[in-house]
Structure 1
Amino acid sequence: MKIQKIGILLLLAVSLNCFGQETNMEKKDVAKGEMMVRIAELEIDPNAIDEYLNILKEEAEASVRLESGVICIYPMYQKENPTQIRLLEIYANKAAYESHLLTPHFKHYKETTLKMVKKLKLIEMQAIDPESMAIIFNKLKQ
């Protein structure tokens, strides 16, 4: 299935970018508990799913690669319903998130996918053990 292949490639590409370079600012913000964590729940128009996944993949990769305050944008979809997308978003702090919203790649994503997104729900999360995040990302590097 074409959607599954795209999804697997998307997951691989973005997961490789979830453990990019850390800055001192990010380490301090994690230690102080200022990290911003969110889960975005999206429902995508089935007729636009392939195009949406390509645009999302580009945006997530660019965000992690270009923005030091974007720690992770990890897109996934439900195996039994690929139009149900979930994003794990982790930012060093609220300022990093606000800066992210102003970037050309995010604006391009929002403008080009606006009609593809049927539903969007943003769920603010609180990390229970933010200190363990470095351990998780270091395991991925091995």
Structure 2
Amino acid sequence: MNGKLVVRIAELEIDPAQLEPYQALLAEEIEASVALEPGVLSLNAVSIKDSPNSIRILEVYANRTAYEAHLLTPHFLKYKNATAGMVTSLTLLDVDPIAMRAKP
């Protein structure tokens, strides 16, 4: 399984009173992950229109090893610890890619 992409969708609900600090921490974590981890192929965060505290993150990792390594990085652990009281709900969905393309 090490050679197969790991693709996940994270569905998060954020305490509306803490949305701005949460978004800042998320942006910092995504920036560091993509810049510092070769196995993090992409991280894309969006909010549901008219429900800004409903966040969705599409995560793409080179393989299971890259995903597991990501969970142990200092920047991810900082994000996880700092946002623990901000996240009111978290659902992680493993998904199978059908068609994924991006321009460089």
Same fold (TM over 0.5): yes
- Runs of 4 or more above 6 Å deviation: none
Query: Residue 128 of structure 1: which of 76, 98, 103 is its match?
Result: 98
Identity %: 50
> What 5-or-longer segments of structure 1 have no aligned partner?
1-28
Q: Which residue of 1 aligns with 2:42?
A: 72
Select the structure of larger CA radius of gyration.
1
What amino acid sits opposite 2:70 in the alignment? H
Q: Distance in 1 between matches of 2:85 and 2:55?
A: 15
Q: Distance in 2 between matches of 1:103 and 1:118?
A: 23
Q: Distance in 1 between matches of 2:97 and 2:20?
A: 32
Q: Distance in 2 between matches of 1:94 and 1:121?
A: 19
Instruction: Give the SS at the match of 2:72.
Output: coil
Q: Compute the displacement of 1:91 (Å).
A: 0.2
Higher strand share: 2
What amino acid sits opposite 1:86 in the alignment? R
Query: Residue 14 of structure 2: which of 44, 56, 81 is its match?
Result: 44
Higher relative contact order (CA 8 A, sep 6+): 2
Q: Compute the displacement of 1:79 (Å).
A: 1.3
Aligned length: 102
What amino acid sits opposite 2:85 in the alignment? K
Query: Residue 55 of structure 1: which of 25, 32, 40 is its match?
Result: 25
Q: Distance in 1 between matches of 2:45 and 2:26?
A: 8
Give the TM-score normalised by the residue count of structure 1.
0.70
* Aligned-CA RMSD value: 0.9
Higher helix share: 1
Q: Which residue of 2 aligns with 1:81?
A: 51
Q: Compute the displacement of 1:128 (Å).
A: 2.2
